[in-house]
């Protein structure tokens, strides 16, 4: 069955790989970004290459009211992917604007958007799938990225609760935890090869999670084992570690 799939934050490498994969499966794509000009090459390529409907919409996590996006869409999507994020300065405790941006983009904006979508699905009695891209950084607070990690921890907990809330309404929610991704957002960072996924691997993991109605998914299984170990390290030892 052909679906209408909404990808919020479609300029990211992961989102573009996901859009290509889902378009190749014959689904229509509704893509959002902060600039229609930046989205146009993406939607044009999908239309020509995959012969599907691909439509661009404006959405800025820091300024767009979720209801405005929903009003702009041609209807309610069958599948939603919240793919935007902001790494920022991981330890910018002296920069209030930077801390606020990290929290707003990675948590507050994502929650408000998914709340609005969930409410609309329930009102329309529409079954749907919602995917939130979180992070392994939220599994335990670490000194190297405690601002970003805390925002993602909140988002992961929110997605767990939303999944339980949506179940009675036939709405499935997926929490995706990619680990390191080789992308524009991590360009220049020294990423460990065996622990780093490509955008294509993340896209395939998302498609599989949707198809099999998974709850929480680590893109690379090794991350589940790593984070299990990290969560069990006693606090008096963990605070001395350079993680």
Supply the residues annotated as catalytic: 148
Q: What residues have CB less than 8 Å from 98, skipping those under 6 apart?
A: 88, 89, 92
| Interatomic CA distance for residues 183 and 199, integer angstroms | 7
| Interatomic CA distance for residues 130 and 77, integer angstroms | 10
CB 128 within 8 A of CB 171: yes
Tell me how far the alpha carbon of residue 173 is from its chain's centroid: 12
| Interatomic CA distance for residues 85 and 155, integer angstroms | 11
Q: What residues have CB less than 8 Å from 56, skipping those under 6 apart?
A: 10, 31, 32, 33, 36, 39, 40, 42, 43
Distances from the Cα of 82 to the Cαs of 9, 13, 195, in angstroms?
7, 13, 23
Helices (H), the chain: 13-24, 36-50, 66-72, 96-103, 109-123, 146-167, 199-211, 222-232, 235-238
* 3-state SS assignment for residue 216: strand
For the chain, what is the total number of helices (H) and then of strands (E)? 9, 9
If we measure between CA atoms, which residue out of 54, 53, 8, 15 comes closest to residue 34?
8
């Amino acid at each position: 069955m052909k679906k209408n799939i909404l990808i919020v934050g479609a300029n990211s490498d992961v989102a573009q790989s996901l859009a290509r994969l889902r378009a190749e499966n014959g689904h229509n794509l509704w893509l959002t970004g902060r600039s229609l000009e930046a989205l146009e090459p993406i939607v044009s390529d999908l239309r020509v290459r995959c012969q599907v409907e691909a439509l661009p919409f404006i959405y800025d996590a820091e300024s767009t009211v979720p209801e405005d996006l929903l009003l702009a869409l041609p209807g309610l999507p069958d599948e939603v992917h919240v793919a935007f994020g902001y790494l920022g300065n991981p330890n910018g405790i002296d920069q209030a604007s930077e801390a606020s941006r990290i929290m707003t983009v990675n948590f507050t904006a994502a929650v408000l958007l998914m709340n609005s979508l969930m409410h609309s699905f329930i009102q329309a009695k529409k079954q749907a799938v919602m995917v939130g891209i979180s992070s392994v950084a939220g599994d335990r607070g670490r000194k190297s990225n405690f601002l970003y990690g805390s925002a993602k921890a909140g988002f992961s907990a929110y997605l767990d609760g939303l999944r339980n809330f949506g179940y009675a309404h036939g709405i499935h929610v997926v929490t995706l935890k990619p680990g390191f991704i080789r992308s524009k957002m991590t360009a220049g960072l020294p990423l460990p090869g065996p622990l780093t996924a490509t955008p294509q691997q993340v896209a395939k993991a998302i498609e599989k999670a949707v198809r099999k109605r998974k709850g929480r998914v680590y893109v690379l299984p090794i991350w589940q084992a790593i984070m299990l170990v990290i969560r069990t390290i006693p606090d008096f030892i963990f605070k001395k570690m350079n993680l």
